[in-house]
Amino acid sequence: MAQASTALTLTLPSEREIVMTRVFDAPRELVFEAHSKCEHMSRWWGPRRHTTTVDKMDVRPGGVWRYVSRDADGNEYGFHGEYREVVRPERLVATFEFEPMPGHVSVETLTLVEYEGKTTLTNTMLESGMEAGMRETYDRLAEYIERLK
């Protein structure tokens, strides 16, 4: 198992906003690719105890995405959204909605900045209670990127 480049850092710039930052030991093109291709997302997105299926993933402004996460008991949890901005390989802006809570739509802004071969990922979103899951998800992403390199 690969060592994480750094721990996930969480900051709360306002009552409702959360900013998650993590450095990955990989070029930003690779980190962006891991976020923008179906075959990659299903291998790292979500908690370890779940499997993820990418139902839709059309990475372009106006394109939609949908993932289904399944636990060991067969329970399914759907997530979906729409891409609002795509600037390869530095920025993705998309809506995010947890299907069991319809109408609670947030906007996530993902930025990637590379310095000396390492990429700082910053994800800004509304506080949702899913921060623990994101921590584990980014651990999985770091491990997956190590395999891709």
C-beta separation of 143 from 131 below 8 A: no
pLDDT of residue 15: 73
Q: What is the pLDDT of residue 17?
A: 83
Only one residue has tokens 């947030």, namely 106
Over residues 67-71, mean pLDDT: 96
Residue whose C-alpha is closest to residue 65's, from 47, 88, 42: 42
The mean of the pLDDT values for the chain is 89
Read off the CATH number of the domain in which 54 is found: 3.30.530.20
Q: What is the mean pLDDT of residues 72-94?
A: 97
- Give the HSE-up count for residue 36: Cα atoms under 13 Å, Cβ half-sphere: 24
Q: Which of 41, 6, 18 lies closest to 129 in space, CA to CA?
A: 18
Is 29 a member of any domain?
Answer: yes
Residue 4 is assigned to a structural domain of this protein: no
Contact assessment for residue 9 and residue 21, using Cβ atoms and an 8 Å cutoff: yes
In this prediction, residue 127 carries a pLDDT of 63
Is 81 a member of any domain?
A: yes
Q: In angstroms, rounded to a whole number, what is the distance separating the alpha carbons of residues 68 and 50?
A: 10
Q: Which of helix, strand or coil describes residue 25?
A: coil
Assess if residue 13 is contained within a domain.
yes
Q: Is residue 139 part of a domain?
A: yes
Tell me, yes or no, whether 126 lies in a domain: yes
pLDDT at position 122: 96
Whether 67 maps to a domain, the answer reads yes
pLDDT at 6: 63
**Structural domains counted in the chain:** 1
> How much is the pLDDT for 1?
38
With b meaning 16 or more CB within 10 Å and e meaning fewer, what string describes 65-89? Answer: bbbbbeeeeeeeeebbbbbeebeeb
Structural domain containing residue 56: 9-148
pLDDT band of 3, cuts 50, 70, 90: very low
